[in-house]
Structure 1
């Protein structure tokens, strides 16, 4: 299972956003990494550099590597609708992302691990593929044997986000992926049009 395993704070500092969630290191050093991070005068970025940065930000945010991300873009490009919006909707429909959104894990990286370690069910069936694409109406839950896991309990207790396209039943520890979110409902700070322009070159 290919995934990014490198430093997180350094990447967050590169983009100037805590894209991996709460990060004390980023809060202390919210300037670019490197020896001259604070003082370096950075010239105006080229159009290509801006587009590339936006694509990298999206990939790191959702924990997707290049080949998978390119495949998602190809699917979005073939679909009806605005390509950039469809791309983000496909990212949001991934099982690991929905597990994170439901509060079962505090990070997408943790959510990916829960899925791959067979703690998560979809419509009552075990699914261990983090990139599994959910459809509207799918029910995502914690496997019966895993409901007592401390890490899941702690995460659910700390979760306070509410998303219009997801419902959650705390007693059953399961939620419903009600619908594919509209762009305005997706909270990520990603300029998807720049990604479309980059891949369209």
Structure 2
């Protein structure tokens, strides 16, 4: 299944606030569609599916990519749900978004793909790159790259930079100090239900 490129507010209305997908908030509090206001009680499967879809749409992943992350999280030591969130949060596109270099994760992905970002002094165009503690992320020393990021920094997607990141706004550089902690994950999601969704399918 290809990456979602349809109307974002429709997804926000259906799943709730997704800070990585869009900065806009839905004016209507009920889901879209003819029966949006008259929805029946959700089944257990529907609740798990909804939580999984939140992760998919917020981080801009395909189903195949998310399944791969779940398998990696299962192999790692610790709580599978927490490790899954850490893997997704430490992606380069999400890190660029959390630093305020881009207003949304899709915009951050475009910034990375177009070669505006460097990691440890080398140009990095792979948005799924897994940032590690000690990595230095900076904007390429070109006028259009710096101008683009400086404009975005005036209106960041999220107000606060997480504690695992250290940002120097003047030099447009940042350092990854550690792995992200659970309380700094901006998305309101129950990761255990996502793990349960995949454990029942596998």
Same fold by TM (over 0.5)?
yes
Q: Residues 116 and 123 of structure 2 are in contact (CA less than 8 Å); yes or no, is this contact kept in structure 1? A: yes
Q: Residues 147 and 173 of structure 1 are in contact (CA less than 8 Å); yes or no, is this contact kept in structure 2? A: no
Pairwise CA RMSD of aligned residues?
1.5
Partner deviation per Cα, 1:38-86 (whole Å, 9 max, x = no partner): x32x221111111011001111011111101000000000000000000
SS across alignment from 1:33: coil
Gaps of 5+ in 1: none
Partner deviation per Cα, 1:69-123 (whole Å, 9 max, x = no partner): 0000000000000000000000001000000000000110100000000010000
Gaps of 5+ in 2: none
SS across alignment from 2:127: coil
Are residue 83 (structure 1) and residue 84 (structure 2) matched?
Answer: no
Are residue 130 (structure 1) and residue 127 (structure 2) matched?
Answer: yes
Corresponding residue for residue 195 of structure 2: 196
Corresponding residue for residue 59 of structure 2: 62
SS across alignment from 2:68: helix
Corresponding residue for residue 21 of structure 1: 22
Q: Residues 16 and 31 of structure 1 are in contact (CA less than 8 Å); yes or no, is this contact kept in structure 2? A: no
Corresponding residue for residue 114 of structure 2: 117
TM-score of the pair, normalised by structure 1: 0.92
Task: Find the aligned partners of 1:162 and 1:115 in 2 and give their Cα distance.
Answer: 19
Task: Find the aligned partners of 2:146 and 2:167 in 1 and give their Cα distance.
Answer: 18
SS across alignment from 1:75: helix
Change (3 A) 1:146 1:180: farther
Corresponding residue for residue 5 of structure 2: 5
Count of aligned pairs: 196
Q: Residues 119 and 146 of structure 1 are in contact (CA less than 8 Å); yes or no, is this contact kept in structure 2? A: no
Change (3 A) 1:155 1:124: same
Task: Find the aligned partners of 1:66 and 1:97 in 2 and give their Cα distance.
Answer: 18
Task: Find the aligned partners of 1:68 and 1:18 in 2 and give their Cα distance.
Answer: 19
Task: Find the aligned partners of 1:167 and 1:139 in 2 and give their Cα distance.
Answer: 9
Task: Find the aligned partners of 1:75 and 1:99 in 2 and give their Cα distance.
Answer: 22
Q: Which runs of 4+ in 1 moved over 4 A?
A: 146-149
Change (3 A) 1:189 1:146: farther
Q: Shift of residue 188 of structure 1?
A: 1.6
Q: Which structure is richer in relative contact order (CA contacts within 8 A, separation 6 or more)?
A: 2
Tell me which of 42, 46, 62 is aligned to 1:45.
42
Q: Shift of residue 163 of structure 1?
A: 1.1
TM-score of the pair, normalised by structure 2: 0.91
Task: Find the aligned partners of 1:3 and 1:126 in 2 and give their Cα distance.
Answer: 24
